[in-house]
Amino acid sequence: MFSLVFLVLLLCKSHGLVSGLNSEGSALLSFKQSIYQDPEGSLGNWNSSDENPCSWNGITCKDQKVVSVSIPKGELYGFLPSVLGSLSDLRHVNLRSNRFYGSLPAELFEAKGLQSLVLYGNSLSGSLPNEFWKLKYLQNLDFSQNFFNGSLPTSIVQCKRLKTLDLSQNNFTGSLPQGFGTGLVSLEKLNLSFNKFNGSIPSDMGNLSSLQGTVDLSHNHFYGSIPATLGNLPEKVYIDLTYNNLSGPIPQNGALMNRGPTAFIGNPGLCGPPLKNPCSSGTPDASSPSSFPFLPNNSPSQDSDNSGKGEKERGLSKSAVIAIIVSDVIGICLIALLFSYCYSRVCACGKDKDENGYGFEKGRKEMRECLCFRRDESETLSENVEQHDLVPLDTQLAFDLDELLKASAFVLGKSGIGIVYKVVLEDGLTLAVRRLGEGGSQRFKEFQTEVEAIGKLRHPNLVTLRAYYWSAEEKLLIYDYISNGSLASALHGKPGMVSFTPLSWSLRLKIIKGIAKGLVYLHEFSPKKYVHGDLKPSNVLLGHNMEPHISDFGLASLAHIAGGSPTLQSSRIPTEKTQDKQQKITSSEVAMVTLSTNLGSYYQAPEALKVVKPSQKWDVYSYGVILLEMISGRSPVVQVGTSEMELVLWIELCIEEQKPLLDVLDPNLVPDVDKEEEIIAVLKIAMACVQTSPERRPTMRHILDVLNRLAVSSD
């Protein structure tokens, strides 16, 4: 009987404690229940024994009412419950850089006083609710770096007070809603980059007079012409339209004037300044209100009786003008034919070699190419530029420019930073030559300083730069040729290849350690303590004994100085217009280049797209993704059912679900399952490297120390 009374009292006491917590506290406890993992203990003091939640971590109250829920970078893993919308006085929600997944509940918009909703850096997906019209006071909306899809709700244009709209790095589709420019009149920051938005750019965007900084519409599928009204934006605004499907002339007014070509690259259909490709005569001038040129008899005569006299006074007749134009065209064509003939004579170098059997048989997929490096000894350069012969960076260099120009060559690959050729000299020496293209004739001294600094780097796990050539029309980098292709091909095979020999675990571990050694040298022992910035399997080449050689370090800087357009954001796909018209490439090579460029962004650290100054921790993150790829045998994007998931997130999910190692392991490594301890040790290193926070990633020196302690005999 006593026990029964005690139990009743205990239950009553417990009930009293729960009932003591107000309704907002109960709602937040429901939110806590939707969190499956809280490794940082961010919600550790959220207790039902409190009267209200105002003393809880991340909670701010005013007059005992919750006005802010802010738990950034807490690694919270769970979903967003609808109960947050019941917090009637809620003004600010900041849950950035966590691991929330699932959809955004429409009930959240019942908190009609919301001013700031920041959810970037999570794994949220699905389409956005259409209840934005309820958020009349919303000023800051940041959903970047998630997996949201679908079109942008039309009701968002009713958020008249919205100042920041960042939807970058999602999967949004469709066109921007009607009234986008006239509705969001308070907008100061706009970033829609790295999505799949399509349709035309709204002409009313020119009404967003409060915009500041960069208006980023890059890496989408916008098509049609650039509306001239964009020039009405404040002149200090930088408009980034790169990598869309825009076409036609670039308007030359207001904020669109005096912009370099970097704001428009990746749109093959665009023409006119500041791009080099001129608009055709039939293309209307975007800066002119009329699409028809003025001819004398376009204007009505003032006196029909004096029409002949007036025509003479006004100038040439229409037929005379047409005759002049036709003669000019014929003259230009003759000059072009003459130039083509002379150029073909210069380009005969490699063809003769091939006809004499100095090349590859017709059945090979690799296309033989003539390098056609033009060198006009009589060409006059700017007084600020020096004309050079081949400049050696190695005292043992045993060839000159003439030998290089006469060599047989074929394409290894091409990207946004030029074409790479395999060149075989007459004495059998094989080299890799990267052609940076034409343009940029004013910065030789800067190029010389940078290229010679790179040429001094010597390490067994780096590709050695042997020489370079600079002229107004050609910039060449000459490297050692690495014989066994890239790590990407070794892991996944080449396009069209039926079968290939997979790498054993001992070879993979050898490569893993070699890459680490090369990065440690770049980070700590090179004179400038380089950051590679674009590390991925296609940039790791394998030598005769499968030793890794890191390539392309410092390349972006050289391409920029040389006047090229480096494209390290790997989702940028190179176009034929960026290459020499004589260039040929097989479909297999195109597939490999496209695959590499499309997947490259998944190797980049999350902060690389937001921070301008490169950090060595960028390379650490990229290295971690490469390790995961070598362990799992999967690409950086994993197909899960009908959807796609980043490899990093997929591995994290497998670990959380405590799946066995065999579920994660590359099937080709099953024979090496006895090396489980080593594989798990490397997996732990990889997971440390891909931490979202750069500060939590180890240094390459620490990584190499851990690898060296593994009991292996692969070196």
The answer to whether the CB of 567 falls within 8 A of the CB of 574 is: yes
At residue 367 the predicted structure's pLDDT band, cuts being 50, 70 and 90, is very low
What lies within 8 Å, CB to CB, of 658 at 6+ separation is: none
Over range 331-341, report the average pLDDT.
Answer: 53
Among 234, 168, 180, CA closest to 205: 180
Is the confidence at residue 656, as pLDDT, over 90? no
> Among 251-265, 294-308, 621-635, 636-650, whose mean pLDDT is lowest?
294-308
What pLDDT score does 315 carry?
A: 45
Give the model confidence (pLDDT) of 534-580 as tens digits. Answer: 899 999 999 999 999 999 888 877 777 766 544 433 333 233 333 33
Q: Which amino acid belongs to residue 653?
A: L
What lies within 8 Å, CB to CB, of 104 at 6+ separation is: 80, 119, 124, 126, 128, 129, 148
Most confident range, picked from 303-307, 592-596, 703-707: 703-707
Is the confidence at residue 259, as pLDDT, over 80? no
The answer to whether the CB of 515 falls within 8 A of the CB of 603 is: no
More confident of the two residues 602 and 441: 602
What pLDDT score does 293 carry?
A: 33
Over range 318-339, report the average pLDDT.
Answer: 54
Question: Residue 135 and residue 266: Cα distance in Å, rounded?
Answer: 36
Give the model confidence (pLDDT) of 101-153 as tens digits. Answer: 999 999 999 998 999 999 988 999 999 999 998 899 999 999 998 999 999 99
- Cis, peptide link before residue 274, omega less than 30° from 0: yes
**CA-to-CA dists, residue 310 to 297, 319, 445, angstroms:** 10, 16, 59
More confident of the two residues 137 and 598: 137
**Residue-by-residue DSSP string for 528-584:** T--------GGGEEE-TTS-EEE--TTHHHHHHHTT-----STTPPP-GGGS-TT--
Question: Residue 475 and residue 117: Cα distance in Å, rounded?
Answer: 49
At residue 406 the predicted structure's pLDDT band, cuts being 50, 70 and 90, is confident
At residue 340 the predicted structure's pLDDT band, cuts being 50, 70 and 90, is low
Q: Please name the residue that has the structure tokens 């030598």.
A: 543
**CA-to-CA dists, residue 469 to 390, 446, 452, 474, angstroms:** 5, 14, 12, 7
Is the confidence at residue 63, as pLDDT, over 80? yes
Domains of the chain: 59-271 (3.80.10.10)
Q: Please name the residue that has the structure tokens 């034919």.
A: 337
At residue 263 the predicted structure's pLDDT band, cuts being 50, 70 and 90, is confident
Give the model confidence (pLDDT) of 272-283 as tens digits. Answer: 888 878 888 655
The answer to whether the CB of 147 falls within 8 A of the CB of 122 is: no
Percent of the chain whose pLDDT exceeds 70:
73
Give the model confidence (pLDDT) of 283-311 as tens digits. Answer: 555 443 332 333 333 333 333 344 343 43
Is the confidence at residue 595, as pLDDT, over 80? no
Q: Which two tokens stand for residue 169?
A: 């790095």
Over range 624-632, report the average pLDDT.
Answer: 96
Most confident range, picked from 207-211, 312-316, 368-372, 587-591: 207-211
Strands of 233-327, DSSP E: 238-240, 245-249, 269-271
Residues identified as active-site: 534
Over range 30-52, report the average pLDDT.
Answer: 90
The answer to whether the CB of 60 falls within 8 A of the CB of 87 is: no
Among 448, 444, 438, 445, CA closest to 475: 438
**408-415 β-sheet, strand order:** 368-369, 408-415, 418-424, 430-435, 475-480, 465-470, 391-392
Percent of the chain whose pLDDT exceeds 90:
33
Give the model confidence (pLDDT) of 468-504 as tens digits. Answer: 888 777 788 888 899 888 999 999 887 666 567 889 9
At residue 609 the predicted structure's pLDDT band, cuts being 50, 70 and 90, is confident
Q: Which two tokens stand for residue 473?
A: 């029309």
Mean pLDDT, the chain, rounded, equals: 76
Torsion sign (Cα): 682, 687, 690, 693: negative
At residue 331 the predicted structure's pLDDT band, cuts being 50, 70 and 90, is low
Over range 417-424, report the average pLDDT.
Answer: 82
